A = this chain, B = another copy of it.
Amino acid sequence: MEFTVSQIAAMLGGKVSGNENEKINMLAKIQDAKKGQIAFLSNPKYEQYIYTTQASAVIVKKDFQPKKELETTLVLVEDPYISFTVLLEEYHKLISFQKTGTEQPSFIGKNSTAGKNLYQGAFSYVGNGVKIGDNVKIYPHVYVGDNVTIGNNTILHANVKLYAGTRIGNNCVIHSGTVIGSDGFGFAPQADGTYKTIPQLGNVIIEDNVAIGANTVIDCATLFGDSTVVRQGVKLDNLIQVAHNVEIGKNTVIAAQTGISGSTKVGENCMIAGQVGIAGHLVIANNTSLGAQAGVPKSIKEEGQRLLGYPVFDIKEYFRSYAVFKQLPDLNHRLRELEKRVGINEPINANGKEG
């Protein structure tokens, strides 16, 4: 992983001003960069740093005119920030996909197959009848139950756990400690106060381009042939609860510690903040935005609303009501004063009687 400045300029469609054979092995911020690293300058208020940076090269706008002499090499491009992002991504791909081969000891069951460039870390477990695509990375301590399928280019970080029958698409990233396919929370109350376990026999389907954070849990569906489904492009943060038979629509983004109860269908392109709770058997319309800690006990039918509170209502109205909530003792006092002025001696309660 070492490039020359001229190789990087070629990758970005830019031009070099300075030593095009300078070696680059890392990316960094302009104020922190050291020899061997490349930085970028986009916001003019950081211009001062370009005259003192230790970076071997800096990506700048193609019309950049230095005010002092420069020690660093320049890469001249249309948009330095976008170019830097492109490098970040390339670097990240290199890092993410550099591991290949099988570390020992690892476990692989019967009738399981994998495509090319597999990385299987030590102490990872792959059960029977598992189908793994190309370029898949299975980090140490990952558990893959029987009959799981995993698409191409998917990364399972250390200690991801996939119960039997789970299906994961292409280009997914799942972080450490996340559990997919555990039993839904289903118990039938009995006459004697105990509960009988309702067997959970469905599975979980994760479509393509889904990212899932760490220590999140997605339960399987209850019945045979049914699935808890996370549609393509969904992004889930850490410590999220997704109950049995939930469906999360494509490109919906959910922040940490949110919980979605059983059989609820969340629409597409929703933005759900952290610590939100959504009850079971609901439908949440597309493009719904839920503020942090919101509670949703009923379906949301109108698309595109921004909601807060428990139960949720319009976020602006919530804040207006809350402003008055903070003054409630005053409000109560003002009301009592009024009652005195009009000759009510004792507050009238809701039953219509004084006292």
**Residues of A near any B CB (own CB < 8 A):** 26-29, 32, 85, 88-89, 91-92, 103, 105, 107, 121-123, 125, 139-141, 143, 145, 157-159, 161, 163, 173, 175-177, 179, 182-183, 185, 187-188, 193-195, 197-199, 201, 209, 211, 213-215, 217, 219, 223-226, 233, 235, 237-239, 241, 243, 251, 253, 255-257, 259, 261, 268-269, 274-275, 277, 279, 292-293, 295, 297, 310-311, 313, 317, 320-335, 337-339, 341-342, 344, 347-350, 352
Chain A, interface SS category: loop
A269, B213: Cβ atoms under 8 Å? no
Partner of A235, one of B195, B243, B268, B332: B195
Collect the chain B residues with CB atoms within 8 Å of residue A215's CB.
177, 179, 215, 217, 239
Partner of A29, one of B107, B187, B225, B333: B225
B32, A213: Cβ atoms under 8 Å? no
Collect the chain B residues with CB atoms within 8 Å of residue A310's CB.
292-293, 322
A26, B224: Cβ atoms under 8 Å? yes
Partner of A331, one of B179, B238, B261, B332: B332
Cα A164 to Cα B61 with chains together (Å): 33
Cα A327 to Cα B201 with chains together (Å): 46
Partner of A342, one of B29, B177, B183, B338: B338
B324, A329: Cβ atoms under 8 Å? yes
Question: In whole Å, how far is A65's beta carbon from the nearest beta carbon of chain B?
Answer: 27
